[in-house]
Amino acid sequence: MKIALIAHDRKKDDLVQFAIAYRDILSEHTLFATGTTGLRVIDATGLEVTRFRSGPLGGDQQIGAMIANNDMDMIIFFRDPLTAQPHEPDVSALIRLCDVYQIPLATNMGTAEILLKGLQKGFVDWRLIQERRG
């Protein structure tokens, strides 16, 4: 599975802790991240992560493009709900594309934990269901 990791600045410590805690599961998948988030995760975990541009410079849009190309399976995006982001339209667009393409999206640690544990147990069958519906 291809998983994107993204965190706004005040949520980066949380995402790093999360990546350390779930390193074993994450290491079984192909990881992507926005620029600064990816650097933090790589430094803390040693995981292999393909880094895109920083969020404000287009990183969210690069991940959105992967979603639109049916080339991304899960997004873990720890958003900061208390700080205005200069690139809020990009953030909204990424979340919108997750809904357009039925991509599992966690915007906080509670949901992210359930998604990763579900992924580990093979719960992610939505593409098969979608294919069956034609």
Ligand X SMILES: O=C(CO)COP(=O)(O)O
The shares of helix, strand and coil residues in the chain, as percent rounded to the nearest 5, are 55, 15, 30
Min. distance of Cβ 64 from ligand X in angstroms? Answer: 11
Marked catalytic residue, from 13, 24, 43, 60: 60
If binding is defined by CB under 6 A, does position 60 make contact with ligand X? yes
90 tagged catalytic:
no
Q: What single letter denotes the amino acid at residue 93?
A: A
Residue 64 is a binding residue for ligand X (CB under 6 A): no
Q: Is 36 part of any known ligand binding site?
A: yes
Q: Pairing between strand 74-78 and 49-51? A: unpaired
Q: Is 58 in the site for ligand X (CB under 6 A)?
A: no
Q: Structure tokens of 8? A: 């706004």
List binding-site positions: 8, 12, 34-37, 54-55, 87
